[in-house]
Amino acid sequence: MFDTIAVIGAGNGGKASAADLALQGKRVRLFELPEYAGNLEAVAQSRRLIATGAVAGEAELERATTDLEAAISGAELLLVCTQAPAHDRVARILAPLVRPEQVVVLSPGSTGGTLHFANVFRQMGVERLPILVELSTLPYGCRASGESVRVFVKVGRVKYGVLPGRETERIGPALEALYPGFVRSESVLEAGLNNGNPVIHPAVTLLNAARIEKEGAAMYFYRDGVSPAVARAIEALDGERMAILRTLGYPAQPEPLTCVQQGYATASGYLECYSQGPGFIDFRSPDTLDHRYLHEDIGMGLLFYTSLGRLLGVPTPLSDAFVTMGSALSGIDYRARNARSLDSLGLSGMTVEALKEYLQSGVLPPGA
């Protein structure tokens, strides 16, 4: 079903995805936004990626381009591998080009990305929406430079959801053939709430803010940044995430257990998982707070938790506090920006029952 694949975004995740899928024998096109064309400089002529680690081999690409139409024309699967702040831009440039028979996968969806794409597509007059798929996490722990990709971990468990959910049975087998570690969710919202980044990154970043700004990459983000107190903050945020899932009627499990199943860690305690997990210990810290750990994981992820919490009657005191603190440290009012909430996704005013029906049907209720 998916023989020709367009990978949108040529950063770490995009290059790892392109290499892995090409090594599986797929025809892969790698696209990057023109202003980031430098990400393609090393591969534009050679059309190859050299992968080492958990994915290994020399991968041949069909093309590497900054022409979106050329990248997606004739592709059955569009794999969006960008950070969440780029989702709005990508959705808007895709809207005039995407075909209803194509499948758009957000890798990852960053808790609600598919809902944002659907909202933008409708705003821009797309009459028949493509099937949208949200991954809970990027399927790789990886770093890329030029034509080289180092894959530390190929994730062993990735929850995914489909919008509309009723299409899961039809397209699930083809997705699972690409990634045997894929696990079906009832909806894109369930999959998105299994994204652990809003639970992990904000606590480590905000509680180590001075050290990050002073030491930068001299600090190991997880190994040095997760102490017993930081682990307790992660656990408290994780409790709020799981309470939201359970109130929606979805299964929930602690994030460290997921990390063990994914291959990042060998221990499921909050401290041991992140400070000692083999898939975490070698990651260096950013050298600035102007980073996706705030803009994406707080300004979108935790903000969405608080929005869902209000709808469901689930208290989210620590998520609220981290949104406030993150806004103060970044100088960006994340609540005023409102990048990801039920309101920004065009879903405000829905009951829980109406929201869950929409997730299955893909059809908004009258007046929404």
Q: Give DSSP secondary structure letters for 276-308.
A: H-TTTTTPBPPS-SSSHHHHTIIIIIIHHHHHH
Q: Using CA atoms, how far apart are residues 283 and 143, in angstroms rounded to an integer? A: 10
Q: Are residues 219 and 317 in the same domain?
A: yes
318 three-class SS: helix
Domain end marker among 164, 192, 220 = 192
Q: What is the CATH number of the domain that holds 327?
A: 1.10.1040.10
In a domain, 54, yes or no: yes
In a domain, 84, yes or no: yes
348 three-class SS: coil
Task: Give the pLDDT mean for 57-61.
Answer: 98
Task: Give the pLDDT mean for 167-188.
Answer: 96
Q: Is the pLDDT of residue 368 over 80?
A: no
Q: Are residues 136 and 36 in the same domain?
A: yes
Is there a contact between 234 and 270 (Cβ–Cβ < 8 Å)? yes
Report CA torsion sign: 190, 24, 95, 292.
positive
Write down the pLDDT at residue 365.
87
Q: What is the CATH number of the domain that holds 64?
A: 3.40.50.720
Q: Are residues 20 and 164 in the same domain?
A: yes
Percent of the chain with pLDDT over 70: 99
322 three-class SS: helix
In a domain, 174, yes or no: yes
Q: Using CA atoms, how far apart are residues 184 and 191, in angstroms rounded to an integer? A: 8
Write down the pLDDT at residue 358.
98
In a domain, 151, yes or no: yes
Q: Are residues 183 and 211 in the same domain?
A: no
Q: Are residues 45 and 127 in the same domain?
A: yes
In a domain, 52, yes or no: yes
Residue numbers of the domain that contains 147: 4-192
In a domain, 358, yes or no: no
Q: What phi, psi does 159 have (nearest 5°)?
A: -80, 140
Q: Is the pLDDT of residue 45 over 90?
A: no
Of 69, 135, 131, 74, nearest to 103 by C-alpha is: 131
What's the mean pLDDT when you consider all of the chain? 97
Q: Are residues 110 and 32 in the same domain?
A: yes
**Considering all CA atoms of the chain, what is the largest pairwise distance in Å, rounded to the nearest integer?**
55
In a domain, 353, yes or no: no
Is there a contact between 81 and 9 (Cβ–Cβ < 8 Å)? yes
Q: Using CA atoms, how far apart are residues 230 and 274, in angstroms rounded to an integer? A: 10
pTM comes to 0.96
Residue ranges with strand state E in the chain: 4-8, 27-31, 48-53, 57-60, 63-65, 77-80, 103-106, 131-135, 140-145, 148-154, 158-163, 182-184
Q: Are residues 168 and 249 in the same domain?
A: no
pLDDT category of residue 193 using cuts at 50, 70 and 90: very high
Our count of domains for the chain comes to 2
- Quick one: angle between helices 303-312 and 228-247, nearest 10? 40
Q: Are residues 262 and 283 in the same domain?
A: yes
Report CA torsion sign: 182, 188, 190, 196.
positive
The Cα angle at residue 91 between residues 85 and 97, in degrees rounded to 5: 155
Q: Are residues 306 and 157 in the same domain?
A: no
According to DSSP H, which parts of 101-162 are helical? 113-123
Write down the pLDDT at residue 27.
98
Q: Is the pLDDT of residue 186 over 80?
A: yes
Q: Using CA atoms, how far apart are residues 97 and 311, in angstroms rounded to an integer? A: 35
Task: Give the pLDDT mean for 238-266.
Answer: 97
Q: Using CA atoms, how far apart are residues 270 and 227, in angstroms rounded to an integer? A: 10
Distance from CA of residue 205 to its chain's centroid? 18
Q: Are residues 224 and 287 in the same domain?
A: yes
Q: Is the pLDDT of residue 367 over 80?
A: no
In a domain, 267, yes or no: yes
Task: Give the pLDDT mean for 335-346.
Answer: 97
Q: Are residues 172 and 42 in the same domain?
A: yes
Domain end marker among 192, 224, 259 = 192
Q: Are residues 58 and 137 in the same domain?
A: yes
For residue 310, give every residue at least 6 positions away whose Cβ sits within 8 Å of its Cβ, in sequence order, or none: none
Domain end marker among 128, 160, 192 = 192
Q: List 190's β-bridge partners, or say none.
A: none
DSSP 8-state assignment for residue 37? G
